[in-house]
Structure 1
Amino acid sequence: MAIIANYIIDETGEVTLVLHAKLTSLPTPDNASPELVSSTANPDQSLKDIEARIQVSAKHLRLASPVFDRQLTGSFNEAQNLQRTGKVDITVEGWDLEALLILLRIIHGRNHRVPHFVPLSLCARIAVLVDYYACQEAMQVHLRLWKSHLETQIPTGYNATETLEWIWVSYFFDMSRVFDQVTLLAIRHGDEHMESTEFPVKASIMEAINTHREKSIDNVLNLIARWRDGLRQGLFGCTFECRCDDLGALEQSLFTANLYNPPTTPFTGWSFDSLFTHVKTFLKPSSRCNLLSYLNHDKCDAIPKIVQEVETLSSEMQGLDLTTFK
């Protein structure tokens, strides 16, 4: 049986929003049933079935959100029940409880219970609600405050979950510099096909990230293959001995890096950055070239030149331009 947690945003409110969720912990509710007290006093990491019932004002919901306005005044069953009985329950599924409570408290002017700053993950989940309910105007003061705080927290390291949150938040808040940086992190460091199921990131953004990621990896593999094939075919290296040394060293390095048989699209388990890291560890053999001869040595020393070309690819990589997706 689900644990019922009651939250009173407006004690005279006619609407009860009902959210079912599985949580390990929950925000402090306004009721104190023995079962709920026991659950919150002895938290553990097991999932609990929660039925959160949030009492709110129909007027505040309608003023803040055109979505709620249509639901409470149109031909929907909720609107008819409200008109007939003066009260109505509305089931809202899939939302984060903490984010929903913050949004509803702001809509109702209960700002004393709203945090001045929220962490990235919570901000991302609130932004999902603001986007869905189209209540940007009612939320604009807090959104502006949270945005200014986030702009000082731009990430430099890669974490798949956090990077996706940043992509969504930077798009939602129209932070072009942050969007460029975090999409570049995803392109450089992503090691699998990136998808967004929790956040409403445009499909075109995810497609662009995945395409750029795969292209960047493909570019590295192609230039390695060009040197590898050129050495095999005698197109590179000034002498037979030179080619044998370079090709042998390259083959050994590829085998050590598990690249002897190159990966294929979508390059699961590989990122541009991990590939670049391997390339930089390729061992260069001692040169067998006669530098005093009149032979062309531009195509000798394969491994240093491969590293140099990958460094050039790395320096030319860019994130996505936010304006392209607006």
Structure 2
Amino acid sequence: MSERYRKILESGDLLIVLTPPTEPFAPWQDKEESETKTDPGAAKQAAEETEETGEKSSAEDTKAIPPEYTFLVSSHILRHASRLFEKDLDPDGPWKQPEVQPDGLRHKHLEGFDPQALSHVLNLIHFRTTQVPDNLEMEMLAKVAVIVDYFQCHEAMRFAVQSWIKEPNTNTVINELEFGRPLMLWLLIASVFKVQPILKRAITILVEEGTGPFDDLGLPISQDVISVIDTSREAIITQLLNGIYQFKNNLSDVVFCGSISSPRRAVP
């Protein structure tokens, strides 16, 4: 059996066809890269250095099509576990249903998700818990969170999440969090899976250390979380500005009072 074909349920009636991502997951732009992009001279030099190799590979890149992955699943189980599929696969709903293909199955096309992360989510939805690791690294957790957020299948993940993010691990994550790409991944994980201690700490760091507009790295960070970050940053900035204005006013009063009380010299 091909590694790109995964039989989640033997008696499945739906084939999920996944086109995997072609771009890096949540790329982080560091300071040096940012300076290169904002410096016209550096950007021009970088463009000249890559122009020749870019021309050679551009034709090949446009032809490169990532291989598809397929997953045999139950539409009935998906409808009960996922709000997305509850609407999308409802035979009585307003959405057009996938037609039965020559292989006797209906096909549902997805794109942009990590194949292994999708396999974990589908196995858990179909109660195949033994097919899913007891522990997942941060990177895979974030990729799973992206799919869970899209599928809206949080309840089906509840017990697995309790295994993946135990309280001792939560404390370790909180103590090690600092501004950077891992912080953004944990912000996503904590917001999707409702891990409040990590979420609060991540938001605090972003509010205190973030500069410039909030960059979600292409991750599905909820608007509620973004609003909390933006509102908190605006409140701090307003407080700082008010302090500066108050200091300026106090300084002006001191100078003004000093000028009044200073003795005038007699004109000879």
Contact 2:177/2:202 (CA < 8 Å) preserved in 1? no
Contact 1:160/1:186 (CA < 8 Å) preserved in 2? no
Between structure 1 and structure 2, the one with the greater Rg is 1
Give SS of 1:104's match.
helix
Task: Name the CA distance, whole Å, in 1 between partners of 2:106 and 2:19.
Answer: 17
Give SS of 1:201's match.
coil
Question: Is 1:194 matched up with 2:214?
Answer: yes
Task: Give the match for residue 73 of structure 2.
Answer: 57
- What does 1:7-22 correspond to in 2, within 5 Å? 7-10=5-8, 12-22=11-21
Task: Name the CA distance, whole Å, in 2 between partners of 1:19 and 1:173.
Answer: 24
Gaps of 5+ in 1: 26-45, 241-326
TM-score using structure 2 length: 0.63
- What does 1:104-115 correspond to in 2, within 5 Å? 104-115=122-133
Task: Give the match for residue 100 of structure 1.
Answer: 118
Task: Name the CA distance, whole Å, in 2 between partners of 1:144 and 1:51.
Answer: 33
Residues 53 and 175 (structure 1 numbering): CA distance in 2 closer, same or farther, change over 3 Å? closer
- What does 1:1-326 correspond to in 2, within 5 Å? 6-10=4-8, 12-23=11-22, 49-58=65-74, 59-74=76-91, 76-81=95-100, 86-148=104-166, 150-152=169-171, 153-196=173-216, 198-224=218-244, 226-227=246-247, 230-231=250-251, 233=252, 235=254
For 2:69, give the aligned amino acid: R
Write out per-residue CA displacement over residues 232-264 of structure 1, whole angstroms, 9 at most, x where no aligned residue: x36169989xxxxxxxxxxxxxxxxxxxxxxxx
Task: Name the CA distance, whole Å, in 1 between partners of 2:125 and 2:164.
Answer: 16
Task: Give the match for residue 307 of structure 1.
Answer: none
Contact 1:167/1:179 (CA < 8 Å) preserved in 2? yes
TM-score using structure 1 length: 0.54
Give SS of 1:81's match.
coil
Q: How many residues align?
A: 215
Write out per-residue CA displacement over residues 98-127 of structure 1, whole angstroms, 9 at most, x where no aligned residue: 321211122234434312111233223322
Give SS of 2:224's match.
helix
Give SS of 2:212's match.
coil
Task: Name the CA distance, whole Å, in 1 between partners of 2:3 and 2:103.
Answer: 24
For 2:222, give the aligned amino acid: K
Give SS of 2:221's match.
coil
Contact 1:72/1:78 (CA < 8 Å) preserved in 2? yes
Residues 18 and 79 (structure 1 numbering): CA distance in 2 closer, same or farther, change over 3 Å? closer
Task: Name the CA distance, whole Å, in 2 between partners of 1:210 and 1:52.
Answer: 39
Gaps of 5+ in 2: 25-60, 260-268
Give SS of 1:106's match.
helix
Higher relative contact order (CA 8 A, sep 6+): 2
Write out per-residue CA displacement over residues 81-114 of structure 1, whole angstroms, 9 at most, x where no aligned residue: 27x9731221112323332121112223443431
Q: CA RMSD in A?
A: 3.6
Deviation at 1:133, TM superposition (A): 2.1
Find runs of 4+ consecutive structure 1 residues off by over 6 angstroms: 236-240
Give SS of 1:8's match.
strand
Task: Name the CA distance, whole Å, in 2 between partners of 1:193 and 1:165.
Answer: 18
